[in-house]
């Protein structure tokens, strides 16, 4: 089986997962306690206005048989006809809302992944290459602490502390660069090619990215250390060392590449943390991204918006799993091949 055939098979196997997740989403939003028509009318609506209530239910197709609603929902989702918001942004197209809110979540996710990658993995590899040393103990202890701290607690503590020292955030005097943005609020992602705009958007997102990437950072450090220790004591590394392979080449070519294999699912799982954790982090730090939008759609009973966002998250998770398979075939070429 070639690499392309392997990936094609993985893609086909992911389609039933998308359909199942979408079906589950339909059952949750249609059989749940929220009445869509009542949510549109709002809490101040006249309870005696039954005619308007029934008219809204008829317009939304809520009086149709459940199987017909299900088929319409599945078809609309799979064709990315996500409909319009009912409550949060009445009448606004959901696809258009995704284009407005998604860049903020992607900006948050980009920096949270960078924070985890460039702190967690180097610390883990350094600890694995220097086992049972003070640096190893310090890195291991730090990884455990970061992994143990709940996101909601860390987010509230950072928001409370950093808002009092925004000028010297993370040791930099941002005012010297004319960066006066707050750490609380929605980052301005317009004209990021300008250095001042890029620095302002980066400053505003770093605390939230540190919170969102903290759990992954601890995992990557711990698993990276274990992977390096297992790899460096393997037989093929001993054989390469016996052949006279230099220390630097031994580490970069044989140890690091093979130690990255168990880290792939950890790195790709950060997308799941981005989906689940971004709701909490975006609400606390006031970032109007997809997490905040999903939170508002849920508490206000905006059924089509919440359902469409759930479908988007399901597709994103499945896409990340396929990306994980691609990374496996790149780092370990044996994956996806059947030798005869």
Residue with the larger pLDDT of the pair 246 and 84: 84
Tell me what pLDDT residue 178 has.
Answer: 44
Q: What's this model's pTM, rounded to 2 decimal places?
A: 0.75
Which residue is associated with the tokens 């250095």?
Answer: 195
Tell me what pLDDT residue 211 has.
Answer: 84
Residue-wise pLDDT tens digits, 282-340:
888 888 888 888 888 888 878 888 888 888 888 888 888 887 777 777 766 665 555 44
Q: How many CB atoms lie within 10 A of CB 59?
A: 11
Rounded to whole angstroms, the Cα distance separating 96 from 85 reads 10
Which residue is associated with the tokens 């990276």?
Answer: 224
Rounded to whole angstroms, the Cα distance separating 38 from 88 reads 14
Tell me what pLDDT residue 274 has.
Answer: 65
Q: Please state the domain extents for the chain.
A: 1-88+303-340, 95-299
Q: Are 72 and 61 in contact (CB under 8 A)?
A: yes
Residues whose CB falls within 8 Å of the CB of residue 68, separated by 6 or more in sequence, listed in order: 61
Q: Which of 91-100, 152-161, 263-272, 301-310 has the least mean pLDDT?
A: 263-272
Question: Above 60 in pLDDT, residue 177?
Answer: no
Rounded to whole angstroms, the Cα distance separating 243 from 151 reads 48
Question: Above 70 in pLDDT, residue 45?
Answer: no
Phi/psi class of residue 202: alpha, beta or left (left: φ > 0; alpha: ψ in -120 to 50)?
Answer: alpha
Residue-wise pLDDT tens digits, 89-138:
888 888 899 888 988 888 888 888 888 788 888 888 888 888 888 888 88
CATH superfamily label, 95-299: MetI-like (1.10.3720.10)
């Amino acid at each position: 089986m070639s690499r392309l055939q392997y990936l094609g098979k993985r893609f086909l196997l992911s389609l039933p997962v998308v359909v199942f997740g979408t079906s589950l989403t339909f059952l949750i939003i249609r059989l749940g306690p929220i009445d869509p028509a009542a949510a549109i009318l709002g809490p101040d609506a006249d309870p005696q206005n039954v005619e308007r209530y029934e008219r809204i239910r008829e317009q939304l197709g809520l009086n149709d048989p459940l199987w017909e609603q299900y088929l319409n929902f599945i078809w609309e989702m799979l064709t990315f006809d996500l409909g319009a918001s009912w409550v949060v942004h009445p009448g606004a197209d959901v696809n258009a809302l995704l284009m407005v809110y998604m860049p903020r979540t992607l900006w948050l996710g980009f920096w949270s992944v960078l924070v985890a990658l460039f702190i967690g993995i180097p610390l883990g590899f350094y600890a694995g290459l220097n086992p049972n040393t003070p640096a190893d103990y310090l890195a291991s202890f730090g990884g455990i602490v970061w992994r143990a701290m709940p996101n909601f607690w860390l987010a509230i503590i950072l928001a409370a502390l950093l808002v009092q020292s925004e000028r010297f955030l993370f040791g930099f005097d941002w005012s010297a660069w004319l960066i006066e943005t707050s750490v609380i609020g929605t980052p301005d992602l317009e004209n990021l090619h300008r250095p001042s705009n890029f620095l302002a958007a980066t400053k505003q997102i770093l605390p939230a990215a540190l919170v969102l990437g903290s759990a992954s950072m601890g995992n990557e450090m711990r698993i990276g250390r274990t992977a390096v220790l297992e790899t460096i004591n393997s037989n093929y590394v001993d054989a390469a060392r016996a052949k006279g392979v230099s220390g630097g080449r031994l580490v970069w070519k044989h140890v690091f590449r093979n130690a990255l294999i168990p880290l792939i699912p950890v790195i790709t799982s950060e997308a799941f943390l981005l989906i689940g954790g971004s709701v909490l982090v975006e609400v606390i730090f006031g970032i109007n991204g997809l997490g905040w939008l999903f939170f508002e759609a849920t508490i206000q009973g905006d059924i089509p918006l919440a359902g469409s966002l759930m479908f988007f998250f399901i597709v994103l998770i499945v896409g990340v799993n396929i990306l994980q398979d691609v990374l496996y075939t790149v780092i370990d070429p044996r994956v996806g091949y059947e030798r005869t």
